[in-house]
Amino acid sequence: MKFVHYLEKISGVDIYALSSFAIFFTFFLGVAFWAWKADKNMINEINQLPLNN
Amino acid sequence: MQVEKFYYDNKIVKMFAYASVLWGVVGMLAGLLIAVQIYLPGANFNLPFTTFGRVRPIHTNAVIFAFVGNGIFMGVYYSLQRLCKARMFNDTLSKIHFWVWQLIIVAAALTLAMGYTSGKEYAELEWPIDIVITLVWVVFGINMFGTIIKRRESHLYVAIWFYIATWVTVAMLHIVNSFEIPFSFMKSYSWYAGVQDALIQWWYGHNAVAFFLTTPYLGMMYYFLPKAANRPVYSYRLSIVHFWALIFIYIWAGPHHLLYTALPDWAQSLGTVFSIMLIAPSWGGMLNGLFTLRGAWDKVREEPVLKFLVVAVTCYGMATFEGPMLSIKSVNAITHFTDWTIAHVHVGALGWNGFMTFGVLYYLIPKMFNTPLYSKKLATNHFWIGTIGIVLYAIPMYWAGFTQAEMWKQFTEEGTLKYQFLETVTHIIPMYITRSVGGAIYISGVFVMVYNLYKTVQAGSFVADEAAEAPALAKVVDTHGKQYWHRWIEARPIQMLVFSLVAVAIGGILEIVPTFLVKENIPTIASVKPYTPLELQGRDIYIREGCYLCHSQMVRPFRDEVVRYGEYSKAGEFVYDHPFQWGSKRTGPDLAREGGKNPDSWHFMHMLNPRNTSDKSIMPNYPWLYANDLDTAITPAKIRAMQTLGVPYPAGYDAQANTDLEAQAKKIADGLTNDDQIKKLASVSEEIDLKNIQKKEIVALIAYLQRIGTDIKGEKKPTTASLP
């Protein structure tokens, strides 16, 4: 039996792999930036929440 | 702002805590039983409901959904109220959630013992229970979001983010993986078949670990570790990145359970890459937990709660380092299907989930009973007993896994396999025995905890409604400058829910959709035909008895596997397999090419007592298959269900199916009754009713076993480089 790798049969499939990385890195950078730019007082305030109750 | 007085509901937390302890003991004892059965087949007791294939799902379901499940709800109901400065949204919903969850657990234990299983690991429960799980999950969601919405604290602490992500992702996973078509009150077939079923199942299976055993417990870590150490978490910024990166990456990693299988290669690669990337957020979280204790390690020496939490977080770090390593294809080629996986899982289950639960119990019970812990010394003893138990469990399993994999792959100088499969099993029996000793030690530690908590409860007085006060939340939250963008999502539960869903859905969609889109493109193999009615019935018996828990049906394209089992498995062979039965562990040999390997009489003698044909086999006996009549009344419904799923039986075949079934059964029965060895065996065995053997379940099972993997056997073998 000739076994053909069936992913070769749908065109442009590499876009799935590439887009997944693109989405992740954009997302990751966004979140990292978001965390980095967050207001220090606010972060400290939230960080104390478990200890305040 | 006026300060409001309110009360935290401790009663529901106590109920979940007790349930977690109770089911933990039950689930671990079931685990100990199967650990002993593996080297002592007599411990299966020759009864269907005490046999390995049925007790093993009881063990896994009890530990995951009953022990850890109740542990999650204990932790969430305690911490959510305090982080939101509000009582749970609705006491009745809390009670419904508790009692229905316990009902599900009891129903699961009973139905699994009776052999009702979907045949998909960690998702074994059948369709009526699946529906009840969905409903109770909605109740939990309403109660959780109701509490968040009526909170008196404007910020949502990161623990709550983890709880929200848990809720939404578990809902998605459970619903998608549970699509099945019922054909009787308690039985159904998976909606998906073969490769697609495998992808969905392990997308679910991996993320059940991620979003049931990990994210809620990370939420608990972020609450209880600072509480127990009395200091805030090391870096809240890191926890933000940890959360988003973890939930985003985790969802992609499922295909690492299917490396070298018939799953498309690109999906396997995605699984590997994202699994390796997972080290970063996982270790970010672990270090965030451990660094929280910087400068406070002296407390760990004295405080058993912290001891448990530190080892739990350390085990999390070990398991999340090991997981990505196991996802590397060359490593996976050695470890997959061996006891290495069992060791890996138990470092997580015993170390991370177990110790985290124990730590939280030691923290909560004295708090809620307003008394110090009865004995810190006993708790410390429990800690050491548990730690020794984990070590004695894990090391023999790593050893067994590595040893067996090496033995599987060894060839003689002449180019033949060096070891028979059974030799590789009997070789690791000492490791199995040591593992069960480790497990027994771990459980004895749990009994020490039960005693300690019992004495604590006796000494204290329970605070059912704990008074608290906080100002009401302002309708409009005052934000200024750069706070705005952070607060837009940080303090808004619905945004959090939607973004979490988007983050976890992307991975699932990008992996699953292409695999489904190419359904028509799976190389259909002309010779692959639907199962005959008798084989289909036999396959359902195979699933009922949990054969897939010890036998894989997936020959990977390795030299040793092709020589040992036969031609490697192709995607097109599984198109009628609802559900797929590739398995994840080879306690026994692979069965993907079992058909035609041995005569019917061999299977007949083997299933009655595997020692009849294979000396020193550790497989259980299945005497009831020789006593039970095959239920043929259900055959038409099964055929119709398969037709609905697209299996090409001719129209109206359901009416004719039993005629074909009987003809095939007669042929097999005739062969058996004329076999001298069988006649001899029947004359000394009470279980065998040779005259009526045609009607018995064993005949259907033999029909199925003789069919597996034979569809492409007649075709010309491709030449592969892996052949010797």
Q: Give pLDDT, residue B487.
A: 67
What total number of domains does chain A contain?
Answer: 1
Arithmetic mean of pLDDT over chain A? 73
Nearest CB to B226; choose among A6, A10, A51? A51
- Determine the residue of chain A that is closest to B155 in CA distance: A46
Residues of A with CB under 8 A from a CB of B: 1-7, 9-10, 13, 16-17, 19-20, 23-24, 27-28, 31-32, 34-39, 42-51, 53
Q: Give pLDDT, residue A17.
A: 67
* DSSP labels, B547-584: GGGT------S-HHHHHHT-SPP-GGGGTT-SS----S
Say whether B370 sits in a helix, a strand or coil: coil
Say whether B411 sits in a helix, a strand or coil: strand
Q: Is residue A11 part of a domain?
A: yes
Q: What is the DSSP letter of B585?
A: B
Classify residue B577 as left (phi > 0), alpha (psi -120 to 50) or beta.
beta
Q: Give pLDDT, residue B480.
A: 55
Tell whether B252 lies on the interface with A, counting CB pairs under 8 A.
yes
Q: Give pLDDT, residue B55.
A: 98
Distance (Å, rounded) from C-alpha B177 to C-alpha B309? 33
Q: Which of A28, A47, A48 to mutate to test the interface with B (most CBs of B within 10 A)?
A: A47
* DSSP labels, B212-254: IIIHHHHHHHHHHHHHHHTS--S-HHHHHHHHHHHHHHHTT-G
Sign of CA pseudo-dihedral B354, B217, B63, B459: positive
8 Å CB contact between B408 and B419? yes
Q: Give pLDDT, residue B520.
A: 45
Which chain B residues in 547-606 lie under 8 Å from chain A, judged by CB atoms? Answer: 570-571
Both tokens assigned to B614: 């294979």
CA angle B458, B462, B468 (to 5 degrees): 155
Q: Give pLDDT, residue A6.
A: 44
Amino acid at B157: Y
Nearest to B224 by CA among B76, B65, B15, B10: B76
Nearest CB to A1; choose among B226, B240, B712? B712
Q: Give pLDDT, residue B406.
A: 96
Interval B361-372: pLDDT, tens: 999 999 999 999
Nearest to B81 by CA among B33, B130, B168, B13: B13
Q: Are A51 and B716 in contact (CB < 8 Å)?
A: no
Q: Give pLDDT, residue B392.
A: 97
Nearest to B154 by CA among B419, B448, B442, B476: B476
Q: Is residue A1 part of a domain?
A: no
Pairing label, strands B188-190, B3-9? unpaired
CATH H-level, domain B533-707: superfamily: Cytochrome c-like domain (1.10.760.10)
Both tokens assigned to B256: 């690492």
Question: Length of chain A, please?
Answer: 53
The domains of chain B are located at: 343-472, 533-707
Both tokens assigned to B118: 């979907």
Q: Give pLDDT, residue B720.
A: 43
Nearest to B452 by CA among B561, B366, B572, B542: B366
Q: What are phi and psi of B472, to 5 degrees?
A: -65, 155
Q: Are A7 and B514 in contact (CB < 8 Å)?
A: yes
CA angle B635, B124, B707 (to 5 degrees): 45
What predicted TM-score, i.e. pTM, was given to this entire model? 0.93
Nearest to B70 by CA among B127, B131, B136: B136
8 Å CB contact between B703 and B672? no
Q: Are A10 and B518 in contact (CB < 8 Å)?
A: yes
Strands (E), B479-535: none
First to last CA, chain B: 81
Nearest to B239 by CA among A41, A42, A31, A23: A31
Q: Is residue A28 part of a domain?
A: yes
Q: Give pLDDT, residue B635.
A: 97
Longest CA pairwise span in chain B (Å): 92
Distances (CA, A) of B360 to A53, B25, B319, B377: 16, 17, 20, 17
Classify residue B621 as left (phi > 0), alpha (psi -120 to 50) or beta.
beta
Per DSSP, chain B holds a count of helices (H) and strands (E) of 29, 4
Range of the domain at A31: 6-52
Under-70 pLDDT residues of chain B:
1, 475-489, 515, 517-523, 714-724
Q: Give pLDDT, residue B165.
A: 94
Nearest CB to A6; choose among B226, B232, B522? B522
What is the complex's ipTM, to 2 decimals? 0.76
Q: What is the DSSP letter of B189?
A: E
Classify residue B596 as left (phi > 0), alpha (psi -120 to 50) or beta.
left
Question: Length of chain B, please?
Answer: 724
Nearest to B37 by CA among B54, B21, B12, B17: B54
8 Å CB contact between B448 and B378? yes
Distance (Å, rounded) from C-alpha B228 to C-alpha B303? 9
First to last CA, chain A: 68
